[in-house]
A and B are shown apart, each in its own frame.
Chain A
Amino acid sequence: MSTQAKTRVTVNVNGRDMSAEVEPRTLLIHFLRENLNLTGPHIGCDTSHCGACTVDLDGKSVKSCTVFAVQAEGSKVLTIEGMAAADGSLHPLQAAFHEHHGLQCGFCTPGMITRAYRLLQENPKPSDAEIRMGISGNLCRCTGYQNIVKAISAAADVMASQPRKEAAE
């Protein structure tokens, strides 16, 4: 296929097939925020550094400012909006960020939580050093890393002791 005109892109986002007409140059972050009104993923640096736009794409943490929406055609995406359970109860990571004050201004939080989600899928009992390396692509300009690490570690403990159906996977 080849196209410059608008093309219909369909992505399974947080468990639901969502589609929109986009230009090939439309970035995934703009598709999520502007076409689907999912404004949880944030645009921070817009240069692939800060991680505020992190979402889960087919089991990988990606910076959605550096992926074209057309590349995600047919994929599964999880954003912060898909983390809580259907009844509204918070995901253990969300609860732990609340409990341990893992945020100050909150701008980096959606990216931090979706990144931490994939980290814990791959490494359910990370050490503090592994958590720090695991979130090294996410910047918190309040420099609240200490409590972010505590929150992720606490969530790992909760998730290990209470197996629970994941929201959107």
Chain B
Amino acid sequence: MIPGRFTYHRPSSVGEAVKLLASLGEDARPLAGGHSLIPMMKLRLAQPEHLVDLGKIGGLKGIRQDGTEIVIGAMTTQAEILGSVLLREKAPILGEAAQVIADPQVRYLGTIGGNVANGDPGNDMPGLMQCLDARYVLTGPGGSRQVAARDFYEAAFFTKLQPGEIVTEIRFAAPAAGHGWAYEKLKRKVGDYAVAAAAVTLTVSGGKCANASIALTNVAQTPLLAADAAKALVGTSLDQAAIDAAAKAAMAISNPTTDTRGPVEYRRSVLGVMVRRAIARAKSRAR
């Protein structure tokens, strides 16, 4: 399969890239890792007239700590997330999620910025970013602004990103030392999107859950923050009754569609299992 014709641009700075995207308007698309966009172009489901390749822009890559925050450049690949010592130490849930995204070849090129910006409900990082209460730094010709991951997603493939803007950074407060965490995903095979997936972080103090955050992947048009599910855990000893209540609350807000991954009832039921497993594993890891 061969994509439609397009004009190729290779800017060398973020400023140049956003100026191009703004002036070319809706006929232009930024190209990050390309592993969502290029397959869509080959199927002619996307036919941009201009591609603005972000691959040669310095400064859009890298993972660093900035005070109490973790900052990840948008062009950082899933493989680089997996290899990051800083993330393994401070926020290991990112590696756990990256490991179940696609396959090794895709992870070498697929970027976290593309994963969060595309608005595909099947992508794993958006839910995880909602769980971590991350903020996206969006840069356009007029400068930069920050939007919370929890506010970013409007519908499938519709986000707060304005034409001419790109995601340049992802920022989140490093989770508390000793926090428990888990990303639990059921997929039919390597490379598939989730039937359902759940991200959980929590802290335990004196045998009781002090804080919890839960977000859900691919069970609605957007990722879902399961605030009531998290609330059901706080103050409990994370016993079976609390875990059951959280799973029930998460299932109640889910709205999956029937597709090749299964009927609605099955996918919602799997979501409940994912939430239970993620909470149990996060609990076992909390110190």
Contacts and interface: CB of A to CB of B under 8 A. Distances in A.
Interface of A: 1-4, 7, 23-25, 27, 30, 46-49, 51, 54, 60-63, 65-68, 70-71, 115, 119, 133-137
A93 B53 CA distance: 35
Interface size of B as a range: 20 to 34
Contacts of B266: none
B4 interface: yes
Contact of A62 (B5, B6, B53, B108): B108
A66 B34 contact: yes
A68 B191 contact: no
Given A71-B31, A119-B104, 11 more contacts: A1-B8, A2-B8, A2-B9, A2-B20, A24-B5, A24-B6, A25-B2, A25-B41, A62-B108, A136-B191, A137-B191
25 contacts: A2-B8, A2-B9, A2-B50, A4-B8, A7-B8, A24-B8, A25-B4, A25-B5, A25-B6, A27-B38, A49-B191, A54-B105, A60-B108, A61-B108, A62-B105, A66-B35, A66-B38, A66-B39, A66-B106, A68-B34, A71-B31, A71-B53, A135-B104, A136-B103, A137-B191
B219 to A, nearest CB: 24
Which of B38, B103, B105 neighbours the largest number of chain A CB atoms within 10 Å of its CB? B105
Contacts of B55: 71
Given A60-B109, A137-B190, A3 B8 contact: yes
A42 B69 CA distance: 44
Nearest to A47: B39
Q: Chain A contact residues: over half helix, strand or loop, or mixed?
A: mixed
B57 to A, nearest CB: 13
B34, B53, B108, B190: most-surrounded residue (chain A CB, <10 A):
B108
Contacts of A134: 104
A4 B190 contact: no
Interface in B99-119: 102-106, 108-109
A34 B134 CA distance: 45
Contacts of A137: 102-106, 190-191
Interface of B: 1-10, 20, 31, 34-35, 38-39, 41-42, 50-51, 53, 55, 79, 102-106, 108-109, 190-191
A136 B190 contact: yes
Contacts of A71: 31, 34, 53, 55
A72 to B, nearest CB: 10
Given A67-B34, A71-B55, A115 B42 contact: no
A71 B52 CA distance: 11
Nearest to A46: B1
A70 B1 contact: no
B105 A63 contact: yes
Contacts of B3: 25, 27
Contacts of B5: 4, 23-25
Contacts of B34: 66-68, 71
A136 B42 contact: no
